[in-house]
Amino acid sequence: MRHEPGRPERPFRRNDDGVVLGGVCSGLARRLGVEVATIRLIALLSVVVLGSGVAVYLALWLGVVRRGETESIFSRAMSVKREKEILFVVAIAAITFLIAFQTLGLHALGVFLWLMTLSALGVLVIWRDSSDAEREHLREGAADIVTRASSGSDKWQSVALRTGSGVVMALWGMSLLSRVGNETGAAAYVLVGAGALVIGLFVLFAPWWIRTFRDLSFERRARIRAQDRADMAAHVHDSVMQTLSLIQRSSHDAAEVTRLARLQERDLRAWLANPETFGASSSPPSTLSESALAIEREIEDNYGVGVDVVVVGDCNLNESITALLAAGREATLNAAKWSGTNNVSLYVEVETGQISMFIRDQGRGFDVDSVPDDRQGIRRSIKERMTRHGGSAVIRSSLETGTEVELHLPLHSRVQ
Amino acid sequence: MSDTERPRVFLVDDHALIRAGIRSELSAFVEIIGEADEVTAAIEMIIERSPDVVLLDVHMPDGGGLAVINGVAKVDASVKFLALSVSDAAEDVIAIVRAGARGYVTKNIEGPELVEAIRRTAAGDAVFSRRLAGFVLDAFIAKEGQLASRPSFDLELDQLTPREIEVLRLIARGYTYKEIALQLDIANKTVESHVSSVLRKLQLSNRYQLTNWATERRLL
């Protein structure tokens, strides 16, 4: 909805679009039904009169509700206890500072300083308590100024404006400083003069400074990215490229190709999941799930048979659990060697009071009863090992559906 | 849809090689009515052609499989999705199943198994891989002797019945549905209804807790 000059509007609201700062001037123009430019000109002129325009502007910014909102910034600040406390503390500090200044004898600038301090307080409240929408708008505006200051500086107008105002500020500061020694309260002139000099120099050199700073951070980011890329390239070269060349060389051997592909896949997964600790984990597995994955690695690498591990729950190792894992490894190994399939399922679950482990293949089975007693593998490595630790082992096998080895280990005490 | 009829399948994957591989493996058993390699096109074409089953890659630019499921479900909630991915990380699996996929299989699945999974999805059943079954058991059952750091939850609402747990365990051990029916002495259809019920519980369960579980599991 566009505003037409010449028709006053009610109620008085700060504008929310096409605004320079807080939308006070354009809001006022709508309320009074006059051109925005007129109001802005009056506002600018009033700033020259001891900065009174600034204080009035801020007061309206704080006290008038923004279009589309229900509460003014000031009443929002007053409705929160914490905000009230912060404002109170800062105000006390500012007044103390002003009184200290007064005793230094700065009478000429007294009113000006009071107004400036009040304004600074107002800006603080606006920054802390404006609505999210308004704050977003202000932030964009600030970012815009920074961008323009650092990039648009080749336009002669902006260079002239900046150099002009910077030089005037700096000269004024120096002239104040040079008066020291003739009158009482001279220290105050030192402070104001030094401040003006600093501001002047800042206005002169800010664009250069911002640009340098930004270039530095660009460079740093680029360097980090290059570093990441180099790490990635190094890893790809060390592992993937080597494996691919091995696969090409052994392309006649299907089992070897599968084995290499599996190995590389596992390696890449581990690296993706945790690039920082990758390669550092040469320590032996310390939990049930890590040990199960170690069995998968060992059998896949040595026998070219896929081991598909699913672990439910996890616990730390102890002597019996290590025995269970050894029995499970033996069963997996048997399946890999004798079943004739290329896939073995390994399932481990930590249940209430026991750990169960199932090793299953769907290949050639065998007659469990006809295995001669002198075959050590099953009896010694699986059954006796389990009974020694209070567990049990059941082996089911049929010629059609393959073999399943079922291991149970009771947990006598809570394992932590 | 009867068993003899060929399900109409739509393929979504951003890797041309994978699409070609799946096409050649499946074309004898299913009717592939289209394919797409990016999210927006996939959503449009799926809505237009309403396939029986969408075979969906999880990882794609612009939101991946999740975006496709959400985009299609807004218009046509009856389309069934079977997620297909190289990743078997818990957070990916759980997220896609929660979004509404009827199941999840990894890309190294063998041809006949994939055909079976598609048939089952088309019939409205759930497809649980061993790993998905393992994830569900891991997430839903609180156990003694657990590492203290391992998260799990046992909310009343999210509880699985003993029978459902039994079925999930057998899936995790590598049993097919038929073998499970034989083992538990129940009908094939009953196994399927147990699995579907678990899927429903998974989709209705507390999203925050589940996501939390999945991310923490990755950190361990």
Q: What is the ipTM of this complex?
A: 0.79
Residue A410: pLDDT above 70? yes
Helix axes B207-219, B130-140, angle to 10 degrees: 110
Taking the CA atoms of A261, A262, A266 and A269 in sequence, report the sign of the dihedral they define. Answer: positive
Residue B2 belongs to some domain of the structure: no
Chain B residues near residue A360 by CB distance under 8 angstroms: 173-175
* Domain extent for B177: 134-219
Mean pLDDT of all residues in A180-189: 62
Residue B74 lies in a domain: yes
Please report the residues numbered 16 through 55 in chain B whose beta carbons come closer than 8 angstroms to any beta carbon of chain A. none
Q: What is the CATH number of the domain that holds B193?
A: 1.10.10.10
Q: Do B56 and B156 fall within a single domain?
A: no
pLDDT in tens, A298-325: 888 888 788 889 988 888 888 889 999 9
Of A315, A352, A360, the CB nearest to B173: A360
List residues of chain A with CB under 8 Å from any CB of chain B.
273, 287, 308, 310-316, 345, 347, 349-353, 355, 358, 360, 362, 401, 404, 411, 414-416
A360 vs B89: CB contact, 8 Å cut-off?
no
Q: Does B107 touch chain A (CB under 8 A)?
A: no
Q: Is residue B58 part of a domain?
A: yes
**In this structure, are B142 and B108 located in the same domain?**
no
Q: Which residues of A touch B147 (CB under 8 A)?
A: 287, 314-316, 416
Inspect the interface and report whether the beta carbons of A314 and B172 lie closer than 8 Å.
no
Compare all CA atoms of chain A with the CA of B87 and give the residue at the minimum distance.
A269
Interchain CB distance below 8 Å, B137 and A312? yes
Residues B14 and B120 in one domain: yes
**Are residues B30 and B91 part of one domain?**
yes
In residues, how long is chain A? 416
CB A51 within 8 A of CB A8: no
Average of pLDDT values for A231-247? 82
Q: How many CB atoms lie within 10 A of CB A389?
A: 18
Domain count, chain B: 2
pLDDT band at A151 (very low <50, low <70, confident <90, very high): low
pLDDT for A90 beyond 90? no
Nearest-CB residue to B146 (from A273, A313, A347): A313
Cα–Cα distance for residue pair A64/A74, rounded to 1 Å: 9
Residues B59 and B114 placed together within one structural domain of the fold: yes
More confident residue, A320 or B201: A320
Give the pLDDT of residue A407: 93
In a domain, B1, yes or no: no
Query: Do residues B116 and B161 both lie within one domain?
Result: no
Within-domain flag for B165: yes
The C-alpha of B10 sits at a distance from chain A's nearest C-alpha, in angstroms, of 28
Regarding whether B151 and B91 lie in a shared domain, the answer is no
**Same domain? B57 vs B114:** yes
Among the candidates B125, B153, B175, a domain finishes at B125
Give the β-pairing of B53-57 and B80-85. parallel
Q: Find the Cα–Cα–Cα–Cα dihedral A252, A239, A293, B166, rounded to 10°.
A: -70
User: Distances in Å between the alpha carbon of A63 and those of A16, A26, A76?
Assistant: 15, 15, 10
Phi-psi region of B153 (alpha: psi -120 to 50; beta: other; left: phi over 0): beta
B106 in a domain, yes or no? Answer: yes
- Comparing CA positions, the residue from B166, B159, B162 lying closest to residue B140 is B159
Tally DSSP H helices, then E strands, for chain A.
15, 5
- Extended beta strands in B15-124, E state: 31-36, 53-57, 80-85, 103-106
User: Both B162 and B187 in a single domain?
Assistant: yes
Same domain, B69 and B102: yes
pLDDT in tens, B56-104: 988 888 888 889 998 898 888 889 999 988 777 777 788 888 888 888 8
Q: Which residues contact A191 (CB under 8 A, 6 or more apart)?
A: none
Beta bridge partner(s), residue A343: A306
Tell whether B179 is within 8 A of chain A (Cβ).
yes
Give me the residue from A311, A350, A404 closest to B145, CB to CB. Answer: A350
**Which are the contacts of A216, defined by CB distance < 8 A and separation ≥ 6?**
none
| Same-domain status, B36 and B92 | yes
pLDDT given at position B157: 44
Phi, psi dihedral angles at A106 (to 5 degrees): -95, 85
Final residue in a domain of this structure, among B73, B90, B125? B125
The long-range contacts involving B28-31, CB below 8 angstroms and separated by at least 24 positions, are: B29/B115, B30/B6, B30/B115, B30/B118, B31/B6, B31/B7
Between A and B, how many residue pairs show a Cβ–Cβ distance under 8 A? 69
Query: Is the same domain home to B98 and B143?
Result: no
Domains in chain A, ordered, with CATH? 1-130 (no CATH), 283-410 (3.30.565.10)
Helix (H, G, I), strand (E, B) or coil at B205: coil
With contacts defined as CB-CB under 8 Å, which chain B residues touch A411?
A: 144-145
Contacts of A41 (CB under 8 A, 6+ apart): none
Q: What is the pLDDT of residues A193-218, one digit of tens each?
A: 788 788 888 877 877 787 788 888 88
Strands A402-410 vs A354-361: parallel, antiparallel or unpaired: antiparallel
Please, which residues bridge with residue A320 across strands? none
What Rg do the C-alpha atoms of chain B give, in angstroms? 17
**A352-389 pLDDT, tens digit each:** 788 999 999 988 888 777 776 656 667 778 888 898 88
Interface test with A, best of B104, B106, B144 (most A CBs within 10 A): B144
Which of B101, B125, B149 terminates a domain? The answer is: B125
- Rounded Cα distance, B26 and B32, in Å: 8
pLDDT at B51: 92
Is residue B3 in some structural domain?
A: no
Report which of residues A345 and A160 the model is more confident about: A345
Segment B6-29, tens digit of pLDDT: 899 999 998 888 889 889 988 888
Q: Considering the domain boundaries, does residue B53 fall inside one?
A: yes
